[in-house]
């Protein structure tokens, strides 16, 4: 049994949990090494205190599950079989009833919950999520190596994007060039839909790239990430295309100051809330508080959004190995949209930058 499964079964024993049924692509991958996107079909990993765990997956994925290195039982099912009957049998082969069952309450849907409840009508359901989040939150050396690679490619993508800027090009043209360059480097998947937003479009925190053309005096915002071996990076840079006005410059420098302060403040022993507030106070003091409507950042790993949640309400204390984004933004409609985002990892006495593209205001002529 691998170390991650051992930690999970340790927790199960401490909490008298008879079975833990993990069903999300990300957590199944984290625990088993098998990455599978089953769409609406059931994917699951059942873990027991003493008995052998098993995987359940669509039949057509069984071969890939084996190739991924999982060498314990794999239950495949066809599109016309009921996987729950197979799960019930496999579980009952291993244990006589269950009093406490852990599931991913934020992932498992009500329909599946009703299936599991029918198999064990008297069981109490515990959330496995907090435990899995806290395990995944601390990255080991092998994970960090992959994330570093994903971040280096994110830096490269920004470099390509900035080079591609020219007057009259559309957001989508620049975006295509960036993704094409990444694919040539072997990148198969982006962390999320790449954003290239210019001028007024950038003033929406979740705008969508389109046929808007880059014009002199625009701030151009890039937000993108790369997936390498199922781990994500996430970077945002905003650059000036041609000369910008004083207001735009003030907004840029406020975001930059807030971003750098939050990076500086990041170290073991400080709370997530304190990091968020470090940046937020700077933006508020500059008079832009109402234009920074989102959290400072989010954890990053197998999911592009995972723990720790970098909000002013999260009292979680930072520890070595945590990886998260720091991405303050100011969006003033019709004036400017600026966001600057880096990925960092907490070290024994501070933080290390994972994304490294320069952040001082760049004016592209």
Question: Which residues here bind its own copies, judged by CB under 8 A?
Answer: 39-40, 59-61, 63-64, 78-80, 103-111, 113-114, 125, 127, 129, 172-173, 175-176, 179-180, 183-184, 186, 188-189, 193, 204-206, 208-211, 293-295, 305, 311-313
Q: Which is nearer to its own copies, 107 or 257 (CB)?
A: 107
The minimum distance between CB 27 and its own copies, in angstroms, equals 13
How far apart CA 52 and CA 54 sit, in angstroms, is 7
Q: DSSP labels for 309-345?
A: EESTT--PBP-TTBEEEE--EEEETTTEEEE-BEEEE
Complex with its own copies: residue 205 or 350, whichever CB lies closer: 205
Toward its own copies, which CB reaches closer, 103 or 322?
Answer: 103
Secondary structure class of 147 (helix, strand, coil): helix
Which of 218, 214, 178, 236 minimizes the C-alpha distance to 336? 218
If the CB atoms of residues 7 and 107 are measured against its own copies, the closer one turns out to be: 107
- CB of 56: closest distance to its own copies in angstroms? 16
Cross-strand partners of 342: 326
Residue in 261, 229, 204, 252 with CA at minimum distance from that of residue 359 = 252
**Smallest separation (angstroms) from its own copies to the CB of 195:** 10
Between 244 and 273, name the residue whose CB sits nearer to its own copies. Answer: 273
* Residue closer to its own copies (CB basis): 104 or 342: 104
Q: What angle do CA 67, 73, 79 make, to 5 degrees?
A: 80
Query: Quick one: 4 exposed, middle or buried, by C-beta within 10 A (0-12, 13-18, 19+)?
Result: middle
> Closest separation between CB of residue 168 and its own copies, Å?
14
Consecutive H or E run containing 250: helix 246-265
How far apart are CB 24 and its own copies at their closest, in Å?
Answer: 10
From the CB of 36, what's the least distance to its own copies, in Å?
9
């Amino acid at each position: 049994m691998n170390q991650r499964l051992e930690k999970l079964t340790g927790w199960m024993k401490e909490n008298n949990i008879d079975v833990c049924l993990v069903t999300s692509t990300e957590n199944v991958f984290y625990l088993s090494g098998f990455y599978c996107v089953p769409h609406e079909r059931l994917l699951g990993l059942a873990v027991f205190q003493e008995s052998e765990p098993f995987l359940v997956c669509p039949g057509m994925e069984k071969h890939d599950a084996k190739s991924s290195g999982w060498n314990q039982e794999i239950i495949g099912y066809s599109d016309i079989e009921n996987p729950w009957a197979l799960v019930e049998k496999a579980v009952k082969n291993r244990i006589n009833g269950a009093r406490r069952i852990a599931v991913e309450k934020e992932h498992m849907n009500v329909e599946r919950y009703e299936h599991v409840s029918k198999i064990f009508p008297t069981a109490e359901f515990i959330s496995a999520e907090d435990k899995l989040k806290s395990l995944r939150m601390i990255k080991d050396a092998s994970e960090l190596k992959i994330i570093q690679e994903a971040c280096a490619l994110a830096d490269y993508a920004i470099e390509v994007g900035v080079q591609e800027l020219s007057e009259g090009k559309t957001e989508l043209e620049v975006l295509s060039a960036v993704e094409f360059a990444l694919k040539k480097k072997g990148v198969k998947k982006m962390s999320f839909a790449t954003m290239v937003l210019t001028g007024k479009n950038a003033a929406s925190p979740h705008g969508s790239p389109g046929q808007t053309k880059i014009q002199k005096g625009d701030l151009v915002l890039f937000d993108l990430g790369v997936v390498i071996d199922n781990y994500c990076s996430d970077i945002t840079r905003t650059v000036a295309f041609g000369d910008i006005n004083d207001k735009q410059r003030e907004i840029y420098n406020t975001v930059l100051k807030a971003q750098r302060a939050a990076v500086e403040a990041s170290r073991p022993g400080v709370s997530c809330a304190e990091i968020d507030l470090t940046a937020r106070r700077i933006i508020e003091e500059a008079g832009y508080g109402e234009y920074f409507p989102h959290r400072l950042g989010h954890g990053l790993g197998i999911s592009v959004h995972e723990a720790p949640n970098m909000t002013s309400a999260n009292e979680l204390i930072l520890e070595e190995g945590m990886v998260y984004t720091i991405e303050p933004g100011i969006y003033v409609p019709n004036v400017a949209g600026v966001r600057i985002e880096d990925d960092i990892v907490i070290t024994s006495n501070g933080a290390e930058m994972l994304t490294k593209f320069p952040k001082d205001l760049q004016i592209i002529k």
